[in-house]
Structure 1
């Protein structure tokens, strides 16, 4: 029996439609927390062994002949430009055509891509691939837990595997599950029976962590549902800061018997409905968060962690708002570090001045429409970095960071002890190496503030006394009933037990 020939490609973007920064083609080329755009053999050479779906797919067995096309990722941000989407989608479609006679396709996608012209970028990509391959070719897809999925996407994909952890420590495992589903479909020779369900309320991103309940038990139930006639059951929690019709949670089930697959999907939807009252995670105003952190730090043996959740670059925010920073300084925080603020200009000024120099800076706040302006202070340059280092935490671990010039700046002209880490390429702080590679040991701080929403928990929560989620201006709005949605489907509720749209 000949080995199946499988074309593989990755095209990942999480689009925050409220973010002020569009996502052009150049951003996909750059890399940052993840590798830069890779083509052909570079895909297998670079991604094998990494905690990415493509890495897991490639490493799961040796029973396919792999035809790698491309893999690309851009830091979450605003709308993907039509130019970027058309160019990358075009390269993938051309690669599928040039692969010749193939038995299937694997796509490493996100699930929340929105382009200037398409609410569901993944569905449009699949439509274009289907135009080239026809409707019958098996197409297996892996998705981020934060996908906003449409029926059109569901109908065009043959099978879907979705992350089951948030923080996403199982990305490679998800790619491996996608390969197993593709292998099963190819072995059986007939399409899966499949089911799709959509939840009637949107879940706040701060309530979605699988390190908390009910997220932990909801995802833990999924493996037990895959038995007998059911091959796989998964669900996306959804990505709230996206003004699209299908924003929110949906369930995917696959197997050999339609009745069994439908029952499994219904079981998950019922569990999500039953958990509605638990899916709340209110934020604490920044000034209160800093005050509480200071009080706890006085008697704590570990650092108190504050998440600047609404300015999380990992959800498309700018990473440069200064609300929590100002609260730290105004509150007289001691032995505190905050990072990473996206500010290439300040990083460049610090690099020119040199380590030990005292300089006047205006940090961040370049998007006043988000509610904060620059933070002005006199600082001392404590450390400098070129932003090239290896991540060490469970999510990014092993990946090479390329964050551009970075600086650690100690505030001098205020009654506080606060160090600010700034960098040139926007990314969320989900890995201690962002601090440690600059000589800052988070375990020796009283207060640690990260620009992240949930991913930081995997690497930081084990070293923390407690975690406080702060409410401060940013482009990742977490209070769902305050988000100016215009395109949601009628009747979906804005948060658990929230008002209907």
Structure 2
């Protein structure tokens, strides 16, 4: 049994006007791919020969340039062309990769793979629950399963499940077609958290379906609201154990669709939503620490640019911080970052922060002390996940982290590698929406500041042009099933 493995993962925010290029991605190739994905363990335990291609991933950002997509997809396709006698293909994709001049990067990649291997070779996909899936995906992939946590902590588990399902498919020789339902509604990024209803109850339904006879896997895709594409919506995939159970899978998909759609009005912002000034006031008046404020319109984990200075400017204008220590992590400004490299720790510095891209990223002049220099970690926050550098400027009781790339501090290690002690702060401003697991665990209060930007929370006010209408919450729509 010979199986090709690989990954090409990106969540593309079409409201971010900056194209995502090759240098935004972290990539491993060859034997390094074995350690990057958990499917390797399953395949080896099953006695399979594993052929690595690449694993390329980038933090959510703007549309991927066609040149960048072609660079990575060609690396995968080259391996597929070389290995003529494979039995299966396993890939970790996102579901919301939008490529310049192409559209869905996932669909394009699968189409080109099928042109090489035909339709007798099973393809298994691990996918992000925030995928905006195309109607055609089911025609090119046999096994599709989404994560079942938000924030995501079950990627490894999902990879192992889709690996085992691929092995079963190869051994059975079955050509499986997943059942699919597109749901005519868009869910905002911070309106669906895994440990809260209605998503918690939907996950329970998925478990029930998956444990029933004839069903191999069940997935609910929330979708990605900050992508103005014809595929932007929630969806459902149910994979039958064998093709003889396809009708059962479609029936289950329809029932689940009715249940999910009946609860569409229950998807609400789960953290405290306040305008920026109210958010700051509430944080300053809190008696607990730490308080986290999400600069939600500039959420770099959802494709925001990371350049907004609105909250920084507001904090600097406050005369009395109630003896609170504040950290703002991090503002993306490559020019300011390069200037700060010329200063040593403890030196005084006068620096303009803010790229002036729009009215929310206006340049702010700060005068302070260089407090720390360190590494900027990527999405995973691992010891080897370095993507850039940081410099922290102390202005009184406010510490401002400047980064040379647009990334988010989502783990404790992000702060540590930047040279900061998170316990020092009463208020921490982050470029996020919902808090990721480690920060959520220590947070005493989380405030969602409704700021402007590419991840603006009030999606009904965004200028969508390409989504399929009618669609909720823009329209009242009757659910129609096959």
TM range (shorter): over 0.9
How many Å apart are 1:274 and its aligned residue?
2.3
Which of 215, 236, 239 aligns to 1:251? It is 236
**Partners of 2:81 and 2:385 in 1: CA distance:** 33
- The correspondence of residues 51-62 of structure 1 with structure 2, limited to 5 A, is 55-62=37-44
Which of 279, 284, 292 aligns to 1:289? It is 279
How many Å apart are 1:116 and its aligned residue?
1.0
1:458 corresponds in structure 2 to 437
Asked if residue 428 in structure 1 is aligned to residue 402 in structure 2, the reply is: no
Residues 150 and 246 in structure 1, CA contact (< 8 A), matched pair in contact too: yes
**Partners of 2:450 and 2:477 in 1: CA distance:** 19
2:294 corresponds in structure 1 to 307
Residues 66 and 101 in structure 2, CA contact (< 8 A), matched pair in contact too: yes
Asked if residue 383 in structure 1 is aligned to residue 363 in structure 2, the reply is: no
Residues 275 and 449 in structure 2, CA contact (< 8 A), matched pair in contact too: yes
- The correspondence of residues 29-108 of structure 1 with structure 2, limited to 5 A, is 31=26, 37-45=27-35, 47=36, 55-62=37-44, 63=46, 64-108=48-92
Asked if residue 239 in structure 1 is aligned to residue 229 in structure 2, the reply is: no
Asked if residue 261 in structure 1 is aligned to residue 242 in structure 2, the reply is: no
Asked if residue 140 in structure 1 is aligned to residue 152 in structure 2, the reply is: no
2:453 corresponds in structure 1 to 474
1:9 corresponds in structure 2 to 6
Asked if residue 230 in structure 1 is aligned to residue 215 in structure 2, the reply is: yes
2:426 corresponds in structure 1 to 446
Query: Which deviates further from its counterpart, 491-500 or 468-477?
Result: 491-500
**Partners of 2:267 and 2:157 in 1: CA distance:** 26
2:19 corresponds in structure 1 to 22
TM-score between the two structures when normalised by the length of structure 1: 0.89
**Partners of 1:493 and 1:192 in 2: CA distance:** 32
Residues 193 and 261 in structure 1, CA contact (< 8 A), matched pair in contact too: no
* Distance verdict in 2 for CA 1:78–1:498, change over 3 Å: farther
Residues 144 and 163 in structure 1, CA contact (< 8 A), matched pair in contact too: yes
**Partners of 2:52 and 2:354 in 1: CA distance:** 40
**Partners of 1:80 and 1:61 in 2: CA distance:** 31
5+ long unaligned stretches in structure 1: 32-36, 48-54
CA deviation string 1:322-366 (max 9, x = no partner): 112223223444211110211232222222111111111111244
How many Å apart are 1:496 and its aligned residue?
9.3
How many Å apart are 1:279 and its aligned residue?
0.4
Query: Which deviates further from its counterpart, 218-227 or 433-442?
Result: 433-442
Q: Report the 3-state secondary structure (helix = DSSP H, G, I; strand = E; otherwise coil) of the residue aligned with 1:469.
A: strand
2:188 corresponds in structure 1 to 204
1:374 corresponds in structure 2 to 363
Runs of 4+ in 1 over 4 A off after TM superposition: 495-500
RMSD of Structure 2 on Structure 1 (CA): 2.1
Which of 259, 281, 303 aligns to 1:271? It is 259
**Partners of 1:25 and 1:441 in 2: CA distance:** 33
How many Å apart are 1:484 and its aligned residue?
0.8
1:51 corresponds in structure 2 to none
CA deviation string 1:152-210 (max 9, x = no partner): 12221111111111111111111111112212211221122421011111001011221
**Partners of 2:409 and 2:4 in 1: CA distance:** 33
2:465 corresponds in structure 1 to 486
Q: How many residues align?
A: 468
**Partners of 1:146 and 1:82 in 2: CA distance:** 22
Q: Report the 3-state secondary structure (helix = DSSP H, G, I; strand = E; otherwise coil) of the residue aligned with 1:353.
A: coil
**Partners of 2:419 and 2:58 in 1: CA distance:** 28
How many Å apart are 1:24 and its aligned residue?
1.8
TM-score between the two structures when normalised by the length of structure 2: 0.92
**Partners of 1:495 and 1:217 in 2: CA distance:** 25
CA deviation string 1:300-337 (max 9, x = no partner): 2x311111121111111111101122232234442111
* Distance verdict in 2 for CA 1:498–1:401, change over 3 Å: farther
Q: Report the 3-state secondary structure (helix = DSSP H, G, I; strand = E; otherwise coil) of the residue aligned with 1:205.
A: coil
How many Å apart are 1:386 and its aligned residue?
4.0
Asked if residue 404 in structure 1 is aligned to residue 391 in structure 2, the reply is: no
5+ long unaligned stretches in structure 2: none
1:346 corresponds in structure 2 to 336
1:316 corresponds in structure 2 to 303
Q: Report the 3-state secondary structure (helix = DSSP H, G, I; strand = E; otherwise coil) of the residue aligned with 1:151.
A: coil
How many Å apart are 1:265 and its aligned residue?
1.0
How many Å apart are 1:259 and its aligned residue?
2.6
Query: Which deviates further from its counterpart, 285-294 or 259-268?
Result: 259-268
Q: Report the 3-state secondary structure (helix = DSSP H, G, I; strand = E; otherwise coil) of the residue aligned with 1:179.
A: helix
Q: Report the 3-state secondary structure (helix = DSSP H, G, I; strand = E; otherwise coil) of the residue aligned with 1:206.
A: coil
CA deviation string 1:81-106 (max 9, x = no partner): 11111222122112101012000101
Residues 241 and 476 in structure 1, CA contact (< 8 A), matched pair in contact too: yes
Query: Which deviates further from its counterpart, 306-315 or 243-252?
Result: 306-315
**Partners of 1:128 and 1:280 in 2: CA distance:** 39
